Amino acid sequence: MLALLGFALSLVCAVAVLISAAWAAAMALPGRPQPWSDHLLRRTAATLGWAAGAVYALGLAGVAWSEGEVGDGANSTPAPACREGFAPETIKGLTHHRASYLPLRFDCVREDGSVYASDPGLVSMNWTWAALALTAALLFLGMHYRTELRARRAAVR
């Protein structure tokens, strides 16, 4: 259920990214709202925020899907995500898994306590959504700082 919700959320965020990107691109067209730089900052921050949400939701769906496969029928324990696509010496001694939704992670644990990642792509997803969210937040804060700076300059004059 959580995997389907994650996929649906990712799809909604992806559509919002496209809409926000179109709004940001509209700033290049004649008849743009004034002051156009404020609108461009706001729309770019919204695009990056929605993109961060889409990337995170897609990773969330992947972790939830892997978690949901455990204990779901014959040959489902330990997690299929920890067994499929790995060399026999890698999965030797596999006992269980650990899933994390923040940061996104699905780790496979062996008898000796050593751990390997079932999907190394989750690391890049974590960095991507975090970088997008941080950039969106910085643009949002910069937009408000610009407004305050303009107000202070107007008060000095």
Over the stretch 78-100, which tens digit does the pLDDT of each residue have?
A: 788 888 888 888 888 888 888 89
Beta bridge partners of 98: 107
What digits encode the pLDDT tens for the residues 103-156?
999 998 988 888 888 888 889 999 999 999 999 999 999 888 887 888 888 888
Whole-prediction pTM:
0.81
- Tally of domains in the chain: 1
Asked if residues 95 and 114 have their Cβ atoms less than 8 Å apart, the reply is no
Question: Domain residues for 95?
Answer: 2-156
The predicted pLDDT at position 139 comes to 92
Coil/strand/helix, residue 30:
coil
- Rg value, the chain, Cα: 22
Q: Which of 94, 98, 103, 109 has its CA nearest to residue 67?
A: 98
The predicted pLDDT at position 79 comes to 82
The predicted pLDDT at position 131 comes to 96
First to last CA, the chain: 59
